[in-house]
Amino acid sequence: MTNGTGPGGSGYQSAPDQGAPYQNHVQPYASAQPTRPPLTPKQRTGAMIAGGVGFVLVQIGLGLISLLLVVGFIAVVLGAIVAMTSNSGGVSRGFTEFADWLGSIDAVTVTVVVVVVAIVAILALVFGILASRWILKAHRVNRPTAVTWSAVGISVVANWIVGGLGFGFSGPMAGAFGNDVGYWVGGLLAIFGIIVSVAVGVFTWWWMAHVYRAPAAQAPAA
């Protein structure tokens, strides 16, 4: 590049020489997403504990609520059938005895049992969610509330799928071994289902803790 004097004596810079090497001053591309380090051992352990404890309590609450809904639906259907057949007449003796047994059930006792089971179910759900959040927060997991609710939604659906597969497999297995051995097989499969539920909770909570982990600037020390 050469300097010269233009009209009026003012200084100016001439165009760069053709032989001068071209220098690219464009900055290399940098990702706008901040880097997020992996979970620390403390965070990973806390997420797994929260999944094992929280999901078991949530499952107990959901199981009790489902039981109440199923029993209530069956009671309504049976009551309607009994009412229709009693008015039509010509029912069998066994069905009449069954209708009399339904009528002899104390409504107050049933109401108390339903209320107690419902309270236990709600408490299990609440304590499961609160315990998960407390454990995650104590282990410095980022966004413990978001991790808990996301993990609950995913793990419930996953456990329904796994539980449905296990239930479909346990029926034929129990029937194939007869009544005596079938009970043992059913019990073992039930225990296996509980273990699988815990595993689903542990994995899902760890997964969501990994998804919501903090950027490097906000990540706590190990």
Within a domain: residue 5?
no
The secondary structure of residue 13, as a DSSP letter, is E
Q: Span 178-184, mean pLDDT?
A: 63
pLDDT digits (tens, 9 = 90+) for 110-141: 889 999 999 999 999 999 999 999 999 999 99
Within a domain: residue 59?
yes
What pLDDT was estimated at residue 127?
96
The secondary structure of residue 222, as a DSSP letter, is -
Within a domain: residue 161?
yes
**Which of 179 and 160 is assigned the larger pLDDT?**
160
Backbone angles phi, psi at 4, to 5 degrees: -150, 180
Task: Confirm whether pTM is higher than 0.75.
Answer: no
What pLDDT was estimated at residue 100?
72
Confidence bin at 95 (pLDDT 50/70/90): low
Three-state secondary structure call for residue 178: helix
Cα–Cα separations (whole angstroms), residue 64 to 1, 26, 125, 135:
85, 64, 10, 24
Cα–Cα separations (whole angstroms), residue 12 to 8, 15, 18, 87:
11, 10, 18, 112
pLDDT digits (tens, 9 = 90+) for 15-35: 555 555 545 555 555 455 567
Within a domain: residue 27?
no
What pLDDT was estimated at residue 78?
76
Look at the chain and report how many structural domains it folds into.
1
Nearest to 135 by CA among 214, 219, 55: 55
Q: Give the domain range for residue 59.
A: 41-211
| Cβ atoms of 220 and 77 closer than 8 Å | no
| Cβ atoms of 141 and 209 closer than 8 Å | yes
What pLDDT was estimated at residue 79?
73
